[in-house]
Amino acid sequence: MNFIKPEKLKPSSTVAFVSLAGSIDHSDSILTAKKYFEDKGFQVKIFAPDRNVDYLGGSDKERLSFLHDAFSDTSVDAVIALRGGYGSLRLLKDIDWNVIKNNPKIFAGFSDITALLLMIWKNTGLMTFHAPMVCSDFGADLNPVTEQNFFKTLQNGFSHADIKKSFNGNYAQGILWGGNLATIVSLCGLDFLPDEDFVFFAEDINEPVYKIDRMFTQLSNIEKFRRNIKALVIGDFNGLDDERLFCKYIKNLALSLNIPVFFGLKTGHEKEKLTLPIGLPVTITDSQIKPI
């Protein structure tokens, strides 16, 4: 695959807020985030409907159009999802990948947006970013570590991500790939897995251990997954029903796949989260993830 790095964010860049999943509350968080970016010197464009459709921020046709329009707009330098929730999966079959490939730019989000992060990278080679979003972060109580790392990564490039401990080895190499576990599993049936060696980072929220077991088992049943995964990195799994059982399960999973597992990556649904590039070749040790 031809690897495409988007242009870095500049102080005068234009940022697009795009409705791609979940219902939208227009009253506070979007305007708060808009003012935040404008106070920093950025221009802001908003691609969102005037009303919600059921539990979605616009119909499938509208949200697909927002995605295409934001990438086609030559004045836009970065596309940031308004929020997650549900809805990204519904767009995948109709995305014109050439629109994105021919207009590469920063694309950022997390949670349900994981589906778009991974499938954009898979179908175009464009590096995407597992990163904070408009409503949950920039339009709310923005964590200072989240804020600093977001701009540092998008303006200067990814430098490293700290992790806390390892099991079954302390080194791996591959492209950085992953995101929300439940969303990734929802991609099964599509051609979504990397064709090369990858380091898999995973996070989720309010899932019991038996469901986490089910999701990792579903992925592990895929031969390409078993062949190409070189390490597992555990992010935030807040809302666990049994943390001790979770750690035991993850260690057994690492043994069964014959890979190292690393714990303590700050990514997920907590306020503090790092901005992580999807598709970037990295090495990982027992203390840091670094670009190659």
- Do 121 and 171 have their domain in common? no
Residue 16 pLDDT: 98
Q: How many domains does the chain have?
A: 2
Residue pair 175/194 in contact (Cβ under 8 Å)? The answer is: yes
Tens of pLDDT along 110-135?
999 999 999 999 999 999 999 999 99
- Rg over alpha carbons for the chain, rounded to the nearest Å, is 18
| Residue ranges of the chain with per-residue pLDDT less than 50 | none
Domain endpoint, select from 156, 176, 203: 156
Residue 26 pLDDT: 63
pTM given for the model? 0.97
- Do 41 and 98 have their domain in common? yes
> Which residues, including other chains, have CB under 8 Å from residue 53's CB and lie 6 or more apart?
59, 62
Q: Which of 92, 70, 62, 89 shows the shortest CA–CA distance to 18?
A: 70
With H, G, I as helix, E, B as strand and everything else as coil, classify residue 188.
Answer: strand
Residue 1 pLDDT: 65
Domain endpoint, select from 156, 189, 210: 156
Instruction: Specify the CATH number for the domain of residue 287.
Output: 3.50.30.60
Tens of pLDDT along 213-245?
999 999 999 999 999 999 999 999 999 999 999
Strand order in the sheet with 261-263: 161-162, 288-291, 281-284, 172-180, 198-205, 229-238, 261-263, 165-167
Residue 27 pLDDT: 67
Phi, psi of 270 (to 5 degrees): -75, 165
Residue 45 token pair: 């464009």
- Helix spans in the chain (H): 29-39, 60-72, 97-101, 114-124, 144-156, 181-185, 209-220, 223-228, 243-257
Q: Is residue 96 part of a domain?
A: yes
Q: Is residue 8 part of a domain?
A: no
**Distance between CA atoms of 85 and 270, rounded to whole angstroms?**
15
- Do 28 and 112 have their domain in common? yes
What range does the domain containing 141 cover?
A: 14-156
Q: Which of 155, 144, 162 shows the shortest CA–CA distance to 271?
A: 144
Residue 286 pLDDT: 77
